Amino acid sequence: MLIKNRQDGFNHPVPSDITPRDVYEGRRDMLKLLAGGAAGAVLSSWAARDAMAQTAAPGKLAALVGAKSSVAGAMTTEKVSDYKDATTYNNYYEFGTDKADPAKNAGTLKTRPWTVEVEGLVKKPGKYGIEDLIKLSAQEERIYRLRCVEGWSMVIPWVGYSLAELIKKVEPQGNAKFVEFVTLADPKTMPFVGSRVLDWPYVEGLRMDEAMHPLTLLTFGMYGEVLPNQNGAPVRIVVPWKYGFKSAKSIVKIRFVEKEPGTAWNKAAANEYGFYSNVNPNVDHPRWSQATERRIGDGGGLFAKRRKTEMFNGYEAQVGQLYAGLDLKKNY
Ligand SMILES: Nc1nc2c(c(=O)[nH]1)N[C@H]1C(S)=C(S)[C@@H](COP(=O)(O)O)O[C@H]1N2
Ligand SMILES: [Mo]
């Protein structure tokens, strides 16, 4: 982000363009067949069994299945991105600044035991072991677009529950106006913590009403499995109407505060990355336009036809009213 001088696409190869098929869709088709009673017929051939083995476990991680969400806007019907793209082309600066680095380096991240501390202006602060946090509410599947500030996007089936479920349980005090997410910064397992790329730990934040919005997802899994390390295991936030960097990975503290928290990218370059960071095609990044995006998996590499970026990443009907009266050009 900060250290690149040109827009996404000029610096990186595009692994998606050589990935032949959509593993996740394959698995869903298989599950539909099974639900329809075709299991016997399907499983009678070795080829089908192989397909099942491949597609039922896209990353061969522990299963984490969620019921399809009924939250408005939570289930886009756009084509889901390839699991391989979603797990090998991403940003997790603690493990390096290249899109291929997190998948290469995040194997060192230790996700058990893991504790998330809920603190600050709440009536019921506490420490949650990750297993208890996973069980706190029913897991849902949400299919969200993810729009990176660098100009690429994907569509990912996440598994988790609305952050609001946790917030209601801990009972924020009246003066709690913001929620701050503090993520792990462990120099022993994260090779770039200690580099000066960012001010560690990576911190993000939301206004209370944004944090309470049902689309804000406390996320434990994707593609029917637990999160791979490089995607923010064991718990991250996903805020679909904001640029990707608002969705903090590998959270260790959720803090309720009165003042707007200082956030990692805002501290690094305040003129480029504001606190709100709502996807807004009408506000250019100081070094490039945000009017269009490259959907990873569309094919065509660097010369792929770009799509028009939608206001609030397409979630305007659900979240637009949160910002009524706020100047979105100033509050970018
Ligand atoms: N802790 C931490 N969280 C982070 C980042 C990071 O570097 N460190 N990168 C952000 C950015 S820029 C993006 S686009 C998304 C990427 O999420 P994904 O890997 O699941 O696609 O994670 C966000 N969360
Ligand atoms: Mo990003």
Domain positions in the chain are: 15-323
d(CA 216, CA 234): 17
* pLDDT for 136 beyond 90: yes
Q: How confident is the model at residue 55 (pLDDT cuts 50, 70, 90)?
A: low
Q: What is the pLDDT of residue 1?
A: 54
d(CA 64, CA 181): 23
Write the residue with the smallest CA distance to atom 6 of ligand 1: 92
Q: What is the pLDDT of residue 57?
A: 83
Q: How confident is the model at residue 49 (pLDDT cuts 50, 70, 90)?
A: very low
- Predicted structure pTM score: 0.86
Q: Is 153 in the pocket of ligand 1 (CB under 6 A)?
A: no
Q: Find the ligand nearest to 98 CA.
A: 1
Q: Does domain 15-323 have CATH number 3.40.190.10?
A: no
Q: Is 244 in the pocket of ligand 1 (CB under 6 A)?
A: yes
Nearest in space to 105 (alpha carbons), one of 91, 118, 115, 117: 91
* pLDDT for 19 beyond 70: no
Q: Is 223 in the pocket of ligand 1 (CB under 6 A)?
A: no
Average pLDDT, the chain: 88
Which has more pLDDT, 12 or 43? 43
* 3 state DSSP class of 119: strand
Give the phi and the psi of residue 142 in degrees, each rounded to 5.
-130, 130
* pLDDT for 48 beyond 60: no
* Nearest atom, ligand 1, residue 1 CA: 12
Which has more pLDDT, 22 or 177? 177
* Nearest atom, ligand 1, residue 92 CA: 7
Residues with CB under 5 A from ligand 2 (ion): 91, 148, 244-245
pLDDT average, residue stretch 76-95: 97
* pLDDT for 100 beyond 60: yes
Tell me: cis bond preceding 234? Omega within 30 of 0 counts: yes
Q: Where are the beta strands (DSSP E) in the chain?
A: 67-68, 115-120, 126-129, 140-147, 152-162, 178-183, 203-207, 217-222, 225-226, 236-238, 251-257, 292-295, 307-308
Question: 1-15, 80-94, 119-133 — which is least confidently predicted?
Answer: 1-15
Q: How confident is the model at residue 303 (pLDDT cuts 50, 70, 90)?
A: confident
Which amino acid belongs to residue 204?
Answer: E
Q: What is the pLDDT of residue 23?
A: 38
Q: What is the pLDDT of residue 301?
A: 74
CB-side neighbour CA atoms (13 Å) of 28: 12
Binding residues for Mo-molybdopterin, by number, are 90, 93-94, 148, 183, 231, 236, 247-249
Name the token pair of 132. Answer: 């208890």
* pLDDT for 272 beyond 90: yes
Q: How confident is the model at residue 208 (pLDDT cuts 50, 70, 90)?
A: very high
Q: Find the ligand nearest to 222 CA.
A: 1
Q: Is 178 in the pocket of ligand 1 (CB under 6 A)?
A: no
* pLDDT for 293 beyond 70: yes
pLDDT average, residue stretch 86-93: 98
* pLDDT for 307 beyond 90: yes
Which has more pLDDT, 156 or 57? 156
